Amino acid sequence: MSTALTYLFSFLATVAILVVFHELGHYWAARICKVKILKFSVGFGRVLWSRRVGPDQTEWAIAAVPLGGYVKMLDEREEDVAAKDLPRAFNRQSVWRRIFIVGAGPVANFVLAILFFWLLFVTGVPGEKPVTAEPVRNTPAALAGIANGDTFVAINDEPVQTWGDVNWRLLKEAVNRSKVRVEVIEASGRRGYRTLDLSGTTADDVDGSLLNKLGLRPYVLRSPAVLGSVLPDRAGARAGLQPGDRVVGVNGTPVATWVEFTTIVRANAEKPLKLDVERRGARLEITATPDADGKGKSRIGLLGVGVSEELKREAASMRTTVSYDALTALPKAAYKVWDLSVFSLKLLWRMITGEVSWKNLSGPITIADYAGQSAQAGWVTFLTFLAFVSVSLGVLNLLPIPLLDGGHLVYYFAEIVKGSPVSERTMEIGQRVGLALLLGLTFFAFYNDINRLFTG
């Protein structure tokens, strides 16, 4: 399947899964309350396919614009209702039933995210152990005393097991611009504590690669540049390289590790390189010209050589898989969803106050891009992406904006307080304000999408 088709199908699958589950939340709650459901639509606009099912002849439909969906319920405010169906009209339900029906959509997204995270935690999430390289000088990490070979154990007493955990914990604290207490195990095996100051982080730091801004870098593999294999008919084989060769220099510059060697090769596509090679005790000079792979900024040089067994073992020692038993995974999954929800609200508030850039807001183009990338990376990455977006969809729909579920909930809670429904005039004004807000958010989201598309 081509890359374009992979991205398209991944995006459509994302929308279908998340939207269908959200609307099923409304649907199930309405069925429990015996409200008559007229239509269940995935997408908006022109109907591409539909079928009527059940005693109420509910219309199930797929529409042309795959950016949402809706459940249409019987309602006197929208059409005439037969006398026998009046008890089943949505507007005739008690305020608590209406709250239950409307709130069930976002809740369904949170439940789906918990299910995804639970499945990930049970099957195991692969990651890199949080072992650090020497921090960049004069960065917060260097000033905190973090050193080469330190392994992160906890941040503010919250355990971390992978670099993904470290990035997430620090991102949450960076939004608060606070100091964090980092527990590490030093290369010597001694346990120690460091204070990492995040008070100097800016909105741009949160937007970009936070670990780089803090001076934190994953441990660099130290295995020498020994060739484990040489692929036939590739640049290395054409130059005369052989398995077991050890590269000790490139263009007169000493090379100590495989990482140093491949970094130079990747940066010199189709440029001749003079390699100093040790082979069975002899010293050779071999000129090799890396083949070019990719285009533009993604263009790299490749020799077609493989790593040694020593490097494979060292790399494997840096990898880990985080997993839990089925019972332990459930509360951890629920906490993960809660943690993400709270962080999303904090981030949104800081966008409103100007502390965090609106560049964090993404639209359908970026979601499609991430969907495609995560699908290509494997099912674990794609399922993680679905869980994150499901949480975001749940939080978004609970915002107190008219036209969203959260806006309707505000009306219903106001009805409880005042003892009567909100007036139609108030709701009309709210609809206009809500529409303006949603159009504004949509504009920002599309602007950011297009900006990312052209600037990378």
Q: What is the pLDDT of residues 52-62, one digit of tens each?
A: 988 889 999 99
CA distance 126 to 113: 19
pLDDT tens digits along 224-236: 999 999 999 899 9
Is the pLDDT at 439 greater than 70? The verdict is yes
CA distance 246 to 278: 5
Residues 396 and 335 grouped into a single domain: yes
77's CB contacts (< 8 A; 6+ apart) are 91
pLDDT-based confidence at 151, cuts 50/70/90? very high
Is the pLDDT at 300 greater than 60? The verdict is yes
Query: Which has more confidence, 437 or 97?
Result: 97
Residue 27 lies in a domain: no
Segment of 86-95, 108-117, 372-381 carrying the highest mean pLDDT: 108-117
Which CATH number do you get for residue 158? 2.30.42.10
CA distance 292 to 275: 18
Residues 254 and 162 grouped into a single domain: no
Segment of 15-24, 82-91, 97-106, 417-426 carrying the highest mean pLDDT: 97-106
Is the pLDDT at 356 greater than 80? The verdict is no
Residues 395 and 430 grouped into a single domain: yes
Q: What are phi and psi of 401, to 5 degrees?
A: -115, 120
Residue 205 lies in a domain: yes
Q: Give SS3 for 357.
A: coil
pLDDT-based confidence at 355, cuts 50/70/90? low
Active site residue 23: yes
Residues 456 and 330 grouped into a single domain: yes
Residue 202 lies in a domain: yes
Range of the domain at 301: 229-310
Residue 208 lies in a domain: yes
Average pLDDT over residues 237-257: 93
Specify the pTM: 0.82
Residues 150 and 263 grouped into a single domain: no
Closest CA to 320 of 187, 162, 119, 132: 162
Annotated catalytic residue, options 23, 134, 173, 309 = 23
Last residue of a domain, one of 322, 353, 373: 322
Return the beta strands (E) in 289-371 as ranges. 291-293, 300-302, 305-306, 319-322
CA distance 390 to 323: 22
Residues 137 and 211 grouped into a single domain: yes
- Percent of the chain scored above 90 by pLDDT? 44
Residues 445 and 390 grouped into a single domain: yes
Give the pLDDT of residue 222: 87
CA distance 247 to 48: 61
Long-range contacts of 84-93 (CB under 8 A, 24+ apart): 85/36, 87/34, 88/34, 88/35, 88/36, 89/35, 89/36, 90/30, 90/35, 93/33, 93/35
pLDDT-based confidence at 358, cuts 50/70/90? low
Last residue of a domain, one of 322, 350, 383: 322
Residues 348 and 271 grouped into a single domain: no
> Structural domain tally of the chain?
3
Is the pLDDT at 23 greater than 90? The verdict is yes
Q: Which of 66-80, 199-213, 397-411 has the lowest mean pLDDT?
A: 199-213
Residue 153 lies in a domain: yes
- For residue 262 the two structure tokens come to 């491949």
Residues 254 and 266 grouped into a single domain: yes
Residues 237 and 193 grouped into a single domain: no
Residues 267 and 213 grouped into a single domain: no
Residues 132 and 211 grouped into a single domain: yes
Distances (CA, A) of 438 to 262, 382, 404, 445: 48, 28, 9, 10
Residue 37 lies in a domain: no
Give the pLDDT of residue 351: 73
Asked if 50 and 59 count as a contact pair (C-beta separation under 8 A), the reply is: yes
Last residue of a domain, one of 284, 310, 336: 310
pLDDT tens digits along 382-428: 899 899 999 988 998 998 888 889 988 998 998 898 888 888 788 78
Is the pLDDT at 452 greater than 70? The verdict is no
Give the pLDDT of residue 287: 94
